[in-house]
Amino acid sequence: MAAAEPLIRSQELTVRFGGNVAVNRVSLAVEPYTLKSIIGPNGAGKTTLFNLLSGQYRPTGGRIFFKGRDITGLNAAARTHLGIGRSFQLTNIFPNLTVLENVRLALQSRAGISYIFWRNFRAYPELEDRAYELLQRVLLEGRWDAVASTLTHGEQRKLEIAILLALDPELLLLDEPTAGMSLEEVPAILELIRDIKDAGQRTILLVEHKFDMIMSLSDSIAVLKEGRLICDDAPEVVSCNPEVLEAYLGGGAKDA
């Protein structure tokens, strides 16, 4: 039987900023319905790789394929439309709207309902119900009527994930979803990511520093060092690779 097509795949992906090669000939494949973590020291190119995959940056070399289709030339909006979802810390939250309104707006944009109808309160009760369900999913329903700007860091991250889920992407790019959270808040987010994975509907690429957590959560772990992919394998294999231990655990990742 032929191997399944990867959901997303990069081929020799490269981006240069001046003389700095931030992502250097990275060839990476993510199988459908799996979770791959990307690890590496600060400045290794993890966020830049996400920016390339989501279309925020254009590569200076290499190609990106989504479900076998070359999407290298597509902009970020077109990639979102295809099912590539990227969570942006804070930038996709409307601070003056409530938590529920934020999620409902994302659902409306997914459903293609015109923005001008949005102020028509309760025009779409089913969207409001669905938004509330998503808030339950991320354990934020108790804050449904809070103004988004009043949320804690942890609550903001949860809202970002709810908004991302509202957009219903096949591929989730999660860049340090627990950044800025208090230690008590972290397990709930990682459990949520585990639930999303276990539901079997989505594929996840995750950048996360909590090494123990990603060991148990990931189907595979890719290691970047100075823009290069130095390892991509099962967690137990990656964790005993001496180069990985040196590059990552010895590379100033104190919070690992």
Residues lying near Mg ion in the complex (CB under 5 A) are found at: 46-47
Between β-strands 171-175 and 84-86, what pairing exists: parallel, antiparallel or unpaired?
parallel
Measured CA to CA, the distance from residue 70 to residue 20 in angstroms comes to: 26
Stretch that binds ligand ADP, among 15-23, 76-84, 93-101, 151-159 (CB under 6 A): 15-23
Q: How far apart are CA 203 and CA 186, in angstroms?
A: 21
Site string for ligand ADP, 32-71 (x = CB under 6 A): --------x-xxxxxxx-----------------------
Backbone φ, ψ for residue 215 (5° rounding): -55, -40
252 binds ligand ADP (CB under 6 A): no
CB closer to Mg ion out of 42 and 150: 42
Beta carbon of residue 32, minimum distance to ligand ADP (angstroms, whole number): 25
Span of 16-24, 87-95, 96-104, 184-192 interacting with ligand ADP by CB under 6 A:
16-24
Q: Report what 62 binds from Mg ion, ligand ADP, none; CB cut-off 5-8 Å by kind.
A: none
Choose among Mg ion, ligand ADP, none what residue 102 binds, the Cβ cut-off being 5 to 8 Å by kind. Answer: none
Is residue 15 within 8 A of residue 63, CB to CB? The reply is no
- CA 109 centroid distance within chain: 19
The CA distance from 204 to 44, in Å, is 20
Residue nearer to ligand ADP on the CB measure, 49 or 135: 49
Q: Which does 17 bind (CB under 5 to 8 A by kind): Mg ion, ligand ADP, none?
A: ligand ADP
Q: Give Cβ neighbours of residue 140 (< 8 Å, ≥ 6 apart).
A: 99, 155, 158, 159, 162
CB 237 within 8 A of CB 243: no
What DSSP state is assigned to residue 142? G
Closest approach of ligand ADP to the CB of residue 42, in Å: 4
Interacting residue ranges for ligand ADP, rule: CB under 6 A: 17, 20, 22, 40, 42-48
